[in-house]
Amino acid sequence: MAGHKNIHVAMYPWFAFGHLTSFLHLANKLAQRGHRISFFLPQKTKPKFEPFNHHPDLITFIPVNVPEVDGLPPGAETTNDVNFSLHSLLMTAMDLTKPVIEEYLQDLKPHFVFFDFTYWLPEVSGRLGIKAVLYCTISPATVGYLMSPERNLLEKSRTGDDLTKPPASFPPSSIKLRAHEARTLAATAENEYGSGITFMERQMLSFNGSDVISFKTCREMEGPFCQYVEKQFGKPVILAGPVVPEPPDSVLDEHIAEFLDGFEPGTVVFCAFGSECILAKDQFQELVLGLELTGLPFLAALKAPIGAETIESALPEGFSERTKGRGWVYGSWIQQQLILKHPSVGCFVTHCGSGSLSEAMVKECQLVLLPYAGDQIINARLMGGDLKVGVEVEKGEEDGLFTRDGVWKAVKAVTDDDSEIAKEVRRNHTKWREFLSSDKLEDSYIDSFIQNLHALLD
């Protein structure tokens, strides 16, 4: 099994697009080097991911039927199909696939199974002689800050106060949480998240059960956090490197290309908040009014806010008339990677999802950080504070709300050529972009990643 033979990896990510996509990016990198992947994903979601499978001869999609669960809408398969309050039911449905997945693994006999939220997989794979790799779609900084065993999470409930500061031996960093963020994250961790266990219990069982923990990052960016996680959990941490996604084969939709082509290079503000972020109506309006205030052309890809049927019905009065020809709020799925590399895009206002940040870090646009929830908050502090590659939008210390002025100020800070902040973030972003875009970097990380997997089989 060991040596330089090709390995066979099964993958079972949480049924959320960000997780499925992140796992598929890694699958493509492994398949590129001749390794075989059996990729479990929901039945109806399979066609959506087929265009992103660059090695169909080596990556086999295995469709999984999502079991019916009381309260889960019929046909719901991913977090994209349900609102956040129903995510725990979808998780319960995934837990119910345990016998099916076990049968598949028994038949496929892979060397490894990569997983994240299905905490029961290490126990199943252990019985079958398969190594369980917890592949984290969140950063080591997030895991270390929020889930460190040093916080004794399973012995006592966390309070918001606990989380405003990092754990005692956390590496030196500018990462800390504001009162409102700490309260929300502490409450989320204690919420039931499928099969009667809390989100935090699910995470800790996954970390403690795995044979190895893996992240999509580089030592050069997050080395101290990786060492901290390795020490705290007492098991190997292996890094896959930046796992920069392959550029899509598709071309930009004609109507979007036409809009962007109408502006000078580097002048358009692109704002995108991912497929699952749904803002409250007042925050949605503050965001688009902030974009209007910049005076720059903008394209915003946002979901209709809570309680609104359509984007149009939620826009502030007179907004469409005032921004006609230079501003566009777009409510459908958007080709983010292609938009980010369009020459007219000069600024990216992002919710700081890890997928969006990895795409943006290898592009030339400047970053405005507007985290929405969970690990996005830690990502924003890491990018804005430690690496200084972007500017975070100010929010109220207690209520966590941002204003149109806050959005305008952050965009102005990174787009004003004379501003010292703009010069600093541009200099830092250029340094990291050049570093992350190097073919040798990615190759060396993926080759080392594979060597580490082989070592686990010896």
Mean pLDDT in order along the chain per 10 residues (458 residues): 75 94 95 97 93 94 96 93 91 97 98 97 97 96 94 69 89 92 85 88 94 96 96 96 81 93 97 88 97 97 92 95 95 88 96 91 95 92 96 92 97 93 95 91 95 93
Q: Tell me: domain 254-437, CATH 2.40.160.150, correct?
A: no
Give the pair of three-digit tokens for residue 17.
């697009």
Q: How many residues appear in the chain?
A: 458
pLDDT of residue 4: 62
Cα-Cα end-to-end distance for the chain: 8
Task: Give the Cα separation of 45 and 395 in Å (integer).
Answer: 36
User: CA distances (Å), 371 to each of 32, 258, 355, in order?
Assistant: 34, 30, 13
Domain spans in the chain, listed from the N-terminal domain onward: 8-245+439-457, 254-437
Task: Look up residue 92 and give its amino acid.
Answer: T
- Residue 238's contacts (CB-CB under 8 Å, 6 or more residues apart) are 212, 213, 214, 449, 452, 453
Task: Give the Cα separation of 90 and 97 in Å (integer).
Answer: 11
- Residue 78's contacts (CB-CB under 8 Å, 6 or more residues apart) are 15, 16, 17, 20, 42, 45, 90
Task: Give the Cα separation of 153 and 206 in Å (integer).
Answer: 14
pLDDT of residue 157: 61
Task: Kindly list the catalytic residues.
Answer: 19, 116
pLDDT of residue 2: 40
Task: Give the Cα separation of 347 and 269 in Å (integer).
Answer: 5
Burial of 364 per CB tally in 10 Å (0-12, 13-18, 19+): middle
Task: Look up residue 184 and give its amino acid.
Answer: T
pLDDT of residue 332: 79
Task: Give the Cα separation of 389 and 409 in Å (integer).
Answer: 16
Task: Give the Cα separation of 164 and 407 in Å (integer).
Answer: 24
Task: Give the Cα separation of 306 and 154 in Å (integer).
Answer: 34
pLDDT of residue 456: 93
254-437 has the same fold as 8-245+439-457: yes
Task: Give the Cα separation of 239 and 228 in Å (integer).
Answer: 14
Task: Give the Cα separation of 436 and 444 in Å (integer).
Answer: 12
How does strand 237-239 pair with strand 268-272? unpaired
> Bridge partners of 198?
192
Give the pair of three-digit tokens for residue 215.
């992240």
pLDDT of residue 355: 85
Contact (Cβ atoms closer than 8 angstroms) between residue 166 and residue 176: yes
- Indicate the CATH number of 8-245+439-457 among 2.60.40.1180, 3.40.50.300, 1.10.260.40, 3.40.50.2000: 3.40.50.2000
Give the pair of three-digit tokens for residue 267.
């002048």
